[in-house]
Structure 1
Amino acid sequence: MKRLKIALLDDHAIVRHGLINRLQQEPDFDVVGVYARSREAMAGLAMVPVEVLLLDFVLGPSELDGILLIRALRVKYPQCRILIFSTHHDAATVILALRVGARGFLGKGEDINQLVSAVRLVASGEVYLSPDMAYRVAEATAVNPVGEEQNRDEALRFVTLSAREQDVIRCYLAGMTITDIAEKFNRSIKTISSQKASAFRKLGVVSNNELFRIKHIIDGI
């Protein structure tokens, strides 16, 4: 029997332990990499290639994660199929993750047995979304296909930034520095930086230039 090589990246030890126990019950699954940090995963995959990587979308504040990590993995390991599992699974996040190369998206609230099915489906070359998630994604992208830029703009309209993330991003777009924003709202620089990073992750942007290019969308969020 050909065994399917799988790796997983999650920053919570309990989650890793539970996933390993369930995946190893499958006779054709071989969990060959278990990582808590994105840097460990990037290095480990070079030594032990896998067919499917289970990837938590949101890691710790100092970690490369989300859209940035998916992009990096797709460049360095194009043969590895990425299955995202996350508590953050709004339509916009799913759309952006799939657009940059993920092959499936699973909410952490779904049944663990569904994860097993998703791994097999993604390994076979298919894309996995639960029926409910597929419906929400289809509803969010039900626009005329006029081009990738417009499709991305439509997806971004469904992004949900917290009130504080909106405050930070709008002030930043207005030309304020992180220090200025911290003083304005009486928050620490570390808190403001974390809120900016969280907003970047949700918006799928990787630089200040990309943020300014979608300013017209943010104004409507």
Structure 2
Amino acid sequence: MRAKNLLQPQCQVIIADDHPLIIFAVTKVLENVKEVQLAGSASSASGLLQLLQQVSCDVLLCDYSFDKEGELDGLQLIKQIQDLYPQIKIVVLTAHHDVAIALRILSLKVAGFISKSAGEFSGLPFVIEQVQMGKSYIDPVTLDALTLHQLNNGKSSESLSEIPLSEREEEVLRLFASGMSITEIALHTKRSVKTISAQKKNAMIKLGVGNVVELLDAVKRLF
């Protein structure tokens, strides 16, 4: 983790990613943009939260998942930053490119979403300008995938940023992925085994998975 102190920043940007090459690539794109100050970078979720306590930030370019064991998952990290620093515009950078994850991230009302596979880093100055103006940004590759998903499922544009997992279904999936059995989850949550089984089954249907292996893979990518 490192922080920079420059005078009179116009837009202070923090980069958070656990891959040094991503931080390097983003830095190279932004370092000569006059309207942008690179306020710092972090390679872990905990390092990012510490950095945010030290420097001000207007736009956060943040990875969705950090591989370090014990770190907050992407959803938890975004929610915590939004609670602590509601003024920060969050642009999510992610290697995940499936629609379910994109929908879940967008449901958190982040300012932007960029798939690393879309090769959009050269356009980051434009993205930062857009989100600073209060607009949202989704990279073209992801936007095309979301549009196709909308057409295939007959959903309105208003529902594009929603994924149909309830909070309790999310809770069941997290606990199941941690190694708990249905009975253990029922005891832990003080709900019936029948209820937990139904919530797990509903979540599997909504995620489009047909067995436990596929479910665990989906949970790993989603959370």
TM-score bracket, normalised by the shorter chain, equals 0.5 to 0.7
**Corresponding residue of 2:145:** 136
1:98 aligns with 2:106: yes
Contact 1:53 1:80 in 2 (8 A): yes
Deviation (angstroms), 1:36: 1.1
**Corresponding residue of 1:153:** 164
**Corresponding residue of 1:11:** 18
Distance 1:208 1:21 in 2: 48
For residues 37-48 of structure 1, the aligned pairs below 5 Å read 37-48=44-55
Contact 1:74 1:101 in 2 (8 A): no
Residues 214, 101 of structure 1: alpha-carbon distance in 2 compared, 3 angstrom cutoff = farther
Distance 1:78 1:62 in 2: 25
Deviation (angstroms), 1:112: 2.1
Secondary structure at the residue paired with 1:152?
coil
1:125 aligns with 2:134: yes
Q: Which structure 2 residue ranges, 5 or more long, are not aligned?
A: 1-7, 167-172, 191-195, 210-223
Secondary structure at the residue paired with 1:32?
strand
Q: Deviations over 1:115-148 (max 9, x none)?
A: 2322221222111012332232234345557x98
1:59 to 57, 66, 70: 66
Q: Deviations over 1:26-48 (max 9, x none)?
A: 11110002111111211221221
1:112 aligns with 2:121: yes
Q: Normalized against structure 2, the TM-score is what?
A: 0.67
Contact 1:8 1:53 in 2 (8 A): yes
Q: Normalized against structure 1, the TM-score is what?
A: 0.67
RMSD: 3.2
Contact 1:81 1:102 in 2 (8 A): yes
Secondary structure at the residue paired with 1:64?
coil
2:56 maps to a residue whose letter is: P
Distance 1:88 1:42 in 2: 23
Distance 2:199 2:88 in 1: 30
Contact 1:71 1:101 in 2 (8 A): no
1:29 to 30, 36, 39: 36
Distance 2:49 2:155 in 1: 38
Q: Which structure 1 residue ranges, 5 or more long, are not aligned?
A: 156-164, 178-206
Residues 118, 173 of structure 1: alpha-carbon distance in 2 compared, 3 angstrom cutoff = farther
The total of aligned residue pairs comes to: 176
